[in-house]
Amino acid sequence: MTHLKSLLLAGCAVVIGLTSVAHAETKPPFSEDQRAAMQDIIRNFILDNPEVLMESVNRFRDKEQQKKEESSVKVLKDNMSFLTNGKHPQIGNPKGDITVVEFFDYNCGYCKHALKAVQELTEKDKNVKVLFMEYPILSPASSLASKWAVAANMQGKYWAFHQATLESTAPKDDENLAKIAQSVGMDVEKAKKDAAGKEVEDYMASVKAFGEKLNVTGTPAFIVGQQIVRGYVEYPAFQTIINDERKKSK
């Protein structure tokens, strides 16, 4: 450990010495030979102990990720009005004390698994409201399915359509989406027209812009209270996060 500290101090000295050369007119604290020797020591130490370099890179990456998350949380707080505009599909308790928001893609395998967690959550926790953000990022077929889903919401059939579409293994094309729409009692012709309309297009664009502000780059992603959770979450983890958010609010 003492040897490592000495090497780190030497490294700092090299940096200071090089900085002095670049930014000061005074005589540098180390000769060229001394700096070269210290650089060799540090280089050899890193080559012999590459895990030190990887640890440094990982720490830097973690700090950068933390900064991004802190920025995303600030953006969320500044844009909460988007979640309360009354335009988004929702299930659960409209007056729930915790709001869960899901960004998803109908062709995302993990989103299909997340459906079970959301179903269980709303069945077991009667004080939660869930909002759905159509976030098709995988394919044009995903976008088409989302447009049909928004059209389903316009008919009050969103949750039934949403579940059936995620559970379906059929391609997400107009023919199969029309079959799903019919199976859940939708007006198919109206849905098809609405899905291709400007109102749905504009709504989808607004969700995309909101997700991009939050740096949502993959699905599923969730907002739980004031937390942003990226990736698939099972029910027990959901409930733990929700309980934590409830404690914070008190």
pLDDT above 60: residue 15: no
pLDDT above 90: residue 82: yes
Question: What would the pLDDT profile of 85-111 be if each residue is shown by its tens digit?
Answer: 999 999 999 999 999 999 999 999 999
The pLDDT-based confidence of 187 (bands split at 50, 70, 90) is very high
Q: What's at 18, amino acid-wise?
A: L
pLDDT above 60: residue 172: yes
* pLDDT at res. 104: 96
**Looking at residues 126-135, what average pLDDT do you find?**
96
Collapsed DSSP state (helix, strand, coil) of residue 101 = strand
Tell me the two tokens of residue 97: 């004390």
Pairwise CA distance, residues 66 & 55, whole Å: 16
Tell me the two tokens of residue 48: 């012999």
65 vs 132 pLDDT, higher one: 132
Pairwise CA distance, residues 237 & 92, whole Å: 18
Q: Mean pLDDT of all residues in the chain?
A: 85
Q: Domains of the chain: which residue ranges?
A: 2-71, 80-249
Cα distances from 81 to residues 53, 75, 97, 128, 210, in angstroms, run: 44, 11, 16, 18, 11
The pLDDT-based confidence of 67 (bands split at 50, 70, 90) is low
pLDDT above 50: residue 22: no
Question: What would the pLDDT profile of 131-152 be if each residue is shown by its tens digit?
Answer: 999 999 999 999 999 999 999 9
Q: Apex CA 46: angle with CA 44 and CA 48, to 5°?
A: 70
Q: Indicate the Cα dihedral angle 41, 46, 52, 53, nearest 10°.
A: 120
Pairwise CA distance, residues 5 & 80, whole Å: 48
Q: What's at 151, amino acid-wise?
A: A
pLDDT above 70: residue 234: yes
Given CATH 3.20.20.80, say whether it is the number of domain 80-249. Answer: no
**Looking at residues 35-49, what average pLDDT do you find?**
77
State the pTM of this model: 0.73
